[in-house]
Structure 1
Amino acid sequence: MSAEARLTELKLVLPPSPKPVGVYKPIVVAGNLAYLSGHGPLKADTKLIKGRLGLDMDVEAGYEAARVTGLAMLATLQSHFGSLDKVNRLVKLLGLVRCTDSFDQQPAVINGCSELFRDVFGEENGVAARSALGTNALPGGIAVEIEAIFEIKV
């Protein structure tokens, strides 16, 4: 089943493709790789999910923030390529979690994005190498920021 068909089957609605808030491109294609800049948890109503894991957010809320971030990333891919079916596979995912010093469940938070990509692109093509790191600050106080590298069909 194609990624676009899975998107429909899962009844997922993508938010508007995020616009840059600095001097960068949301996506850069080099050869058969698409590099997605860090995306934040942009909801369909264009509001960002803000908070700090271990302080005013729990793992479940962080998971949802990472999932919402994944939806924004899919929107960027779909907007740039016209279809998610141009994606061959996810290669690498880097997730940053805004958290307290004692919070140690970053992988559980970033699973929100990882599981979304697995569901959309399939077990083989949607699961990749990954890092999940904690940080004390992210732009605008957002809860998570995630970047990725995708192999595309050329």
Structure 2
Amino acid sequence: MTQIERKLQSLGLTLPPPLPMPAGVVLPFPWVRIVGNRALVSGHGPQNADGSLATPLGKVGRELTLEQGHQAARLTALGILASLQRALGDLDRITAWVRVFGMVNAAPGFDRMPAVINGFSELILELYGPEVGAHARSAVGLAELPFGIPVEIEAEVEFRP
């Protein structure tokens, strides 16, 4: 068991399997694209431990509270970690979280996007520490996200061979 897997286990967290796509939905891109020693992670939404989309769905500031949005971002981190584990084989290979782009399905007037995406950043920093886990980040609000998910996050990491 790797160091990151041990930390996840100690926190009682489980990485989900791949997200099952709804009937008729085909993704013309990979979840993780490896370029040299970088992994570019396509946008992920929050997933349950069984891989299904986490609920509630909807807009933060209307159907979801700030706290529920924060939890959705944390669940999104687990989905991204699962995709990276499948692509890299070992999460301990990650040497730097380079960039994170967080999108929040925001109700009109909701402006606490950074606090929502902190759910992602806090977990990454807890798992990887400030040296490897620190990342450049944006947190923006959007009018809609796919399938009504409250949060979508993409990322870029560097890893060792």
Give the alignment's TM-score, normalised by structure 2. Answer: 0.90
Aligned identity (percent) is 43
* Contact 2:73/2:116 (8 A) holds in 1: yes
* Contact 2:102/2:151 (8 A) holds in 1: yes
Stretches of structure 2 lacking an aligned partner (at least 5 in a row): none
Q: Identify the residue that residue 27 of structure 1 maps to in structure 2.
A: 32
Alpha-carbon shift at residue 47 of structure 1 (Å): 3.0
Greater CA deviation, 30-39 or 8-17?
8-17
Partners of 1:121 and 1:105 in 2: how far apart?
A: 25
Task: Please report the RMSD computed on the Cα atoms of aligned residues, expressed in angstroms.
Answer: 1.5
Alpha-carbon shift at residue 150 of structure 1 (Å): 0.3
Partners of 2:40 and 2:120 in 1: how far apart?
A: 16
Q: Identify the residue that residue 42 of structure 2 maps to in structure 1.
A: 37
Alpha-carbon shift at residue 17 of structure 1 (Å): 2.9
Q: Identify the residue that residue 81 of structure 1 maps to in structure 2.
A: 88
* Contact 1:97/1:133 (8 A) holds in 2: yes
Partners of 1:128 and 1:19 in 2: how far apart?
A: 29
* Contact 2:100/2:156 (8 A) holds in 1: yes
1:1-154 map, 5 Å: 2-18=3-19, 21-45=26-50, 46-49=52-55, 50-154=57-161
Alpha-carbon shift at residue 28 of structure 1 (Å): 0.4
Greater CA deviation, 12-21 or 59-68?
12-21
Partners of 1:65 and 1:95 in 2: how far apart?
A: 11
Count of matched residue positions in the alignment of Structure 1 and Structure 2: 154
- Change in Cα spacing, 1:76 to 1:19, as seen in structure 2 (3 Å) is farther
* Contact 1:4/1:83 (8 A) holds in 2: no
Stretches of structure 1 lacking an aligned partner (at least 5 in a row): none
Partners of 1:127 and 1:90 in 2: how far apart?
A: 6
The letter for the 2-side match of 1:26 is: W
Alpha-carbon shift at residue 48 of structure 1 (Å): 3.1
* Contact 2:45/2:53 (8 A) holds in 1: no
The letter for the 2-side match of 1:18 is: L
Alpha-carbon shift at residue 120 of structure 1 (Å): 1.1
Partners of 1:127 and 1:9 in 2: how far apart?
A: 21
